[in-house]
Amino acid sequence: MKVIKFGGSSVGTPEMMIQVAKIIAKNDKQIVVLSAVQGTTDSLNKYTQLLESHKNREALHWLLTIENKHIEFSQQLINDTQIRLDLEKKIHSITQSVKPANEIIINKKRILAIGEKLSTEIFYHYLLSIQQHSSLISALSFMRKDENDEPDHAFILENISKVLLQLNNCNTFITQGFICKNKNGEIDNFERGGGDYTATLLAAAVNAEEVQIWTDIDGVHNNDPRFVDNTFPVRELSYNEAAELAYFGAKILHPTCVFPVIEKKIPIRLKNTKQPDAKGTIIHRQTSNKNIKAIAAKDNIMAIKIRSSRMLNAYGFLRQIFEIFEKYKIPIDMITTSEVAVSVTIEQTENLSDLLPELQTYGEVEFDKNQTIICIVGDFLASNHGYASRIFTNLRHLPIRMVSYGGSKNNISILIHTDDKINALESLNKGLFQGIH
Ligand code: ADP
Ligand code: ASP
Ligand code: MG
């Protein structure tokens, strides 16, 4: 069994959906995970904003636009009149289920979920129309989060197994990425880009031989192609390297999607839907190349410095500080300490009214907002020297707020002001990769 995920751009036009059908026709047993049609999740977000600002008439108009877009899409894709009419009814009933009159209490997650419901209905009906046999299975019947808002692996395993057993004469299953239920059985999701996470969670549950993530680019590039020219695909990454890149901002992978498959050693292959024969990237246990592989950037970070003479020669100080972050469930990304101060980074938030007074009981607190973590990923064995100097030489013209080196052998993280991000990414691209490709 393989799990094959196609992102929004891969199902963004009728032509792309036809291409997806051709790609999956070559596989034997597979679960196909789809995102919403490109732009739909953003449109649904806008719809909820209109509802929240009580612009119901405008909201209804916007929802009709979303419905019409999907109906036009189907009309271009499907020739069989009866199948197309059935699909149009489905599209209408899905969009009607979130129309303003029914949304007395605005449930954003229930609204966002219709994007994936619509795209999978369209794709399933298209396969039906070309007599490519498949079953449409609802992710809401097996994808669930637990009381800590983490995937409920036992529930997922039990329920996807049941579904597959009931349909054991079928080889191709179509399902929605991104959406799930929460511990109370309400509709939830795995955050933006969550389709990748659905795919790897399912792969772990069904013990898949491979997960494929099909998107609009030929695999993971060495740097962020949205900000830097002359990037190139990295053909091979270890799980740890890919996990660091995903967590620290490489949008091609959802931040936590690598973790589910590590234990079972299921490879993740990234592929380009527009160029199915291009090599892409393979993510697996080990890589042969011990070097700097890629760079990513994570924005919207703030640094917090706590300075206290009580730290001098004291033990337990850091524990007390970390307990405050734990209490408010705030994850820390980077840490550096000196004898009298500790700096940490967290995701930027305006809501510091609880955290700040508690931190101030331990010392003087300072904040730096609008920071970006630049994460350089590779295989940095301590015995292979010279990496740090190459990185810092290329950043010598920029102010650096924090550095984290040695936390793992796969990551060097540097905190800079967000205004310097593109400059840093470009300088590192020239200095670390020029001539390699
Ligand atoms: P999908 O809709 O298929 O999920 P995404 O937009 O989530 O696609 O991810 C693909 C995009 O990620 C690429 O088009 C590219 O702009 C962006 N991206 C950011 N960093 C990287 C990187 N290091 N390598 C490849 N793509 C990246
Ligand atoms: N449709 C969702 C998004 O746009 C999830 C995904 O693409 O995987 O974020
Ligand atoms: Mg994505």
* Strands (E) located in 264-384: 268-272, 281-284, 292-307, 335-337, 341-347, 364-378
Handedness of CA 61, 63, 69, 72 (dihedral sign): negative
Compute the distance between CA of residue 371 and CA of residue 424 in angstroms, rounded to an integer.
Answer: 13
Question: Residue 323's domain is classified under what CATH number?
Answer: 3.30.2130.10
Q: Tell me, yes or no, whether 229 lies in a domain.
A: no
Domain boundary among 183, 216, 249: 216
List per-block mean pLDDT (blocks of 10 residues) for the chain, which spans 437 residues. Answer: 98 98 97 98 97 94 98 98 98 95 80 98 98 98 96 98 96 98 98 98 98 98 97 96 96 97 98 97 87 95 92 83 93 92 93 89 94 94 80 97 91 97 97 81
Instruction: Please indicate, yes or no, whether residues 194 and 332 belong to a single structural domain of this protein.
Output: no
Ligand 3 centre and the CA of 197: distance in Å?
10
Q: Tell me, yes or no, whether 244 lies in a domain.
A: no
The tokens describing 257, both together, are 């999607």
- The boundaries of the domain holding residue 165 are 2-216
What number does the ligand 2 atom closest to the CA of 115 have?
Answer: 1
What number does the ligand 2 atom closest to the CA of 5 have?
Answer: 8
Q: What pLDDT score does 399 carry?
A: 98
Q: In this structure, which ligand is nearest to the CA of 191?
A: 2
Q: What pLDDT score does 225 carry?
A: 97
Packing angle, helices 195-206 and 153-166, rounded to 10: 70
Question: Residue 134's domain is classified under what CATH number?
Answer: 3.40.1160.10
Q: Tell me, yes or no, whether 252 lies in a domain.
A: no
Q: Which of 204, 107, 108, 112 has its CA nearest to residue 151?
A: 204
Contacts 24+ apart (CB under 8 A), 95-102: 95/63, 95/64, 95/66, 95/67, 95/70, 98/47, 98/63, 99/60, 99/63, 100/51, 100/56, 100/59, 100/60, 100/63
Contacts 24+ apart (CB under 8 A), 153-162: 153/201, 153/204, 153/205, 153/260, 156/201, 156/202, 156/205, 157/205, 160/202, 160/205, 160/206, 161/205, 161/206
The tokens describing 251, both together, are 């949008």
Instruction: Please indicate, yes or no, whether residues 298 and 426 belong to a single structural domain of this protein.
Output: yes
Ligand 3 centre and the CA of 236: distance in Å?
19
Compute the distance between CA of residue 30 and CA of residue 173 in angstroms, rounded to an integer.
Answer: 6
Ligand 2 centre and the CA of 40: distance in Å?
9
Q: Tell me, yes or no, whether 57 lies in a domain.
A: yes
Q: Is 328 helix (H, G, I), strand (E, B) or coil?
A: coil
Domain boundary among 216, 232, 257: 216
Q: What pLDDT score does 382 carry?
A: 66
Give the total number of structural domains in the chain.
2
Q: Measuring from atom 11 of ligand 1, which residue has the nearest CA? A: 252
Asked if 204 and 143 count as a contact pair (C-beta separation under 8 A), the reply is no
CA-CA distances (angstroms) from residue 310 to 85, 320, 364, 367? Answer: 72, 12, 11, 20
Instruction: Please indicate, yes or no, whether residues 63 and 194 belong to a single structural domain of this protein.
Output: yes
Compute the distance between CA of residue 10 and CA of residue 95 in angstroms, rounded to an integer.
Answer: 22
**Which mutation among 192, 215, 253 tests ligand 2's pocket best, with the greatest number of atoms within 8 A of CB?**
192
Q: Tell me, yes or no, whether 9 lies in a domain.
A: yes
Instruction: Please indicate, yes or no, whether residues 186 and 319 belong to a single structural domain of this protein.
Output: no
Instruction: Please indicate, yes or no, whether residues 199 and 333 belong to a single structural domain of this protein.
Output: no
Is ligand 1 within 6 A of the CB of residue 251? yes
- Counting DSSP H helices and E strands in the chain, the numbers are 14, 16
Rg for the chain, CA atoms, rounded: 24
Ligand 1 centre and the CA of 217: distance in Å?
7
Residue 416 sits at φ, ψ, to 5 deg, of: -135, 170
Instruction: Please indicate, yes or no, whether residues 201 and 314 belong to a single structural domain of this protein.
Output: no
Q: Which of 309, 330, 304 has its CA nearest to residue 402?
A: 304
Q: Tell me, yes or no, whether 234 lies in a domain.
A: no
Instruction: Please indicate, yes or no, whether residues 323 and 210 belong to a single structural domain of this protein.
Output: no
Q: What pLDDT score does 436 carry?
A: 67
Greatest Cα pair distance, the chain, in angstroms, is 79
Q: What is the pTM of this model?
A: 0.95
